[in-house]
């Protein structure tokens, strides 16, 4: 039976907002153990010692090979590939013809004419669509995340080590001093007799390595990591804590995907894309028209990735924005008293504030809350959650430039009105929560140091 296309689903629902606002689609997918101890201690591990995060199951891999793989990627991505040699990785960013975000993913250049694109399925679907409609001499193999894979284990294991003792632990399990590997570069090691590739980076803005290799080697590699000297303080991190790491490093996951509009390319894509690939939409930002939810690369700090040294989808639109993007990505630190009052409303009569399911409190795939200043909307608050290391509830947001200075006072509108029918949304009332603008990345080390280590 042929799956319903997004185009057909839109007709059935009456429009994109109507389709996505009540959609029973989870805010995030982390098909790994929620906690090994407790998420507060697990959050602290990447600051105090060494965190071990299992990334094997929640991301989709698209392996691209052939001489046309790089031209295909260059066609869909805003990034430059001029110096993208084997052994490098980059955050690939894709936009629609009008310059709005499709999404982002991590691209690994594994071998000559062999790449692995890892991340949210929407970007991977977008690349696959353009391969099928174009004349690119390339082939792809897709490995879906473990929540939707038809059968069998992942093709690759993927473990993240991060924290101040990560390097010392790596030296122990590899049997020697570590090479000097630059940020977002790869190296190869031997662990437990297995060849292991490692990407130098860290999801929580701490020094770290992303280790990966064939699934059948994963158990031996994991055993070696867990068997390392206890002085390194290795802590296994579950899905709850892992889901908050981006709030420290400043990466905004799952911004609204710009799928809709009258552009012929997007109409063709909606006919091709199964409706099941679309996520839910939630939060207090409810402009009515779906275009009011769209973001550009500049809105979420991806302007540094945009390179006009090649032709790509959306180039002309981004060139018009490049000299004066109107919004800036920031961190918002929510007022502790207002948060406590919102949580406390659950213990008083009548509808309370929208429940905050700590540590990650967003309740839709694409979560957008109104940010106010002086009684008018000046931005959109995106991903949100609690950081035990900072003892603060924060969100990543994009705000008008004049409100982006650290210390600026704003207000976040928390909750929906009208209340949607998403399973994660109960009867509640909207509340306003004061917030203070802070830098992004929020954590000093992520902002000032870890890319140089």
Binding residues: 210
Quote the distance between the C-alpha of residue 447 and its chain's center: 18
Beta partners for residue 68, in sequence order: none
CB 163 within 8 A of CB 208: yes
- The CA distance from 55 to 77, in Å, is 24
Q: Are 255 and 103 in contact (CB under 8 A)?
A: yes
Whether residue 269 has a cis bond before it, omega within 30° of 0: no
* DSSP string computed for 365-379: SEE-EEEEETTEEEE
Binding residues for substrate: 210
Return the closest-CA partner of residue 124 out of 108, 144, 110, 109: 144
Residue 292 phi, psi dihedral angles, 5° rounding: -70, -10
For residue 308, what are the CA distances in angstroms to 54, 74, 131, 316? 36, 11, 22, 9
For residues 355, 360, 365, 369, the Cα torsion angle rounded to the nearest 10 degrees is: 60
Please report, for residues 72, 100, 122, 271, 274, the alpha-carbon distance to residue 4 in angstroms, rounded to integers and kept in the order given: 27, 25, 17, 9, 6
């Amino acid at each position: 039976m042929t799956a319903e296309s997004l185009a057909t689903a839109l007709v059935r629902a009456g429009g994109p907002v109507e389709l996505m606002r009540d959609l029973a689609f989870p805010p995030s997918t982390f098909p790994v153990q929620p906690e090994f101890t407790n998420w507060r201690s697990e959050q602290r591990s990447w600051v105090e010692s060494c965190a071990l995060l299992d990334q094997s199951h929640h991301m989709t891999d698209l392996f691209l090979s052939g001489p046309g793989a790089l031209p295909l990627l260059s066609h869909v991505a805003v990034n430059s590939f001029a110096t993208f040699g084997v052994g490098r990785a980059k955050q690939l960013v894709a936009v629609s013809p009008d310059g709005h975000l499709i999404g982002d993913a991590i691209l690994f250049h594994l071998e000559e004419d062999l790449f692995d694109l890892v991340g949210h399925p929407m970007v991977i679907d977008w690349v696959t669509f353009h391969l099928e409609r174009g004349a690119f001499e390339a082939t792809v193999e897709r490995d879906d995340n473990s929540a939707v894979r038809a059968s069998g284990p992942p093709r690759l294991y993927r473990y993240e080590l991060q924290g101040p003792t990560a390097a010392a632990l790596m030296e122990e399990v590899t049997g020697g001093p570590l090479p000097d590997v630059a940020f977002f570069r790869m190296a190869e090691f031997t662990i437990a007799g297995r060849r292991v590739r490692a990407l130098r980076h860290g999801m929580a803005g701490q020094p770290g390595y992303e280790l990966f290799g064939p699934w059948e080697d994963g158990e031996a590699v994991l055993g070696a990591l867990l068997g390392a000297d206890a002085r390194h303080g290795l802590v296994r991190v579950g899905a709850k804590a892992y889901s908050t790491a981006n709030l420290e490093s400043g990466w905004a996951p799952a911004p609204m995907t710009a799928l809709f509009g009258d552009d012929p390319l997007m109409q063709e894509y909606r006919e091709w894309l199964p409706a099941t690939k679309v996520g839910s939409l939630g939060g207090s930002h409810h402009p009515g028209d779906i275009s009011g939810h769209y973001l550009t690369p500049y809105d979420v700090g991806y302007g540094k990735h945009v390179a006009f040294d090649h032709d790509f989808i959306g180039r002309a639109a981004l060139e018009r924005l490049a000299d004066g993007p109107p919004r800036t990505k920031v961190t918002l630190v929510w007022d502790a008293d207002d948060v406590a009052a919102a949580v406390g409303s659950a213990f008083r009569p009548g509808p309370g504030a929208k429940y905050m399911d700590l540590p990650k409190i967003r309740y839709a795939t694409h979560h957008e809350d109104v940010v106010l200043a002086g009684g008018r909307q000046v931005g959109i608050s995106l991903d949100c959650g609690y950081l035990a290391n900072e003892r603060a509830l924060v969100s990543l947001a994009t705000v008008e430039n004049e409100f982006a200075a650290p210390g600026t006072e704003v207000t976040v509108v928390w909750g929906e009105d009208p209340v949607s029918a998403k399973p994660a949304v109960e009867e509640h009332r909207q509340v306003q929560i004061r917030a203070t603008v802070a830098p992004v990345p929020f954590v000093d080390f992520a902002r000032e140091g870890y890319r140089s280590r």
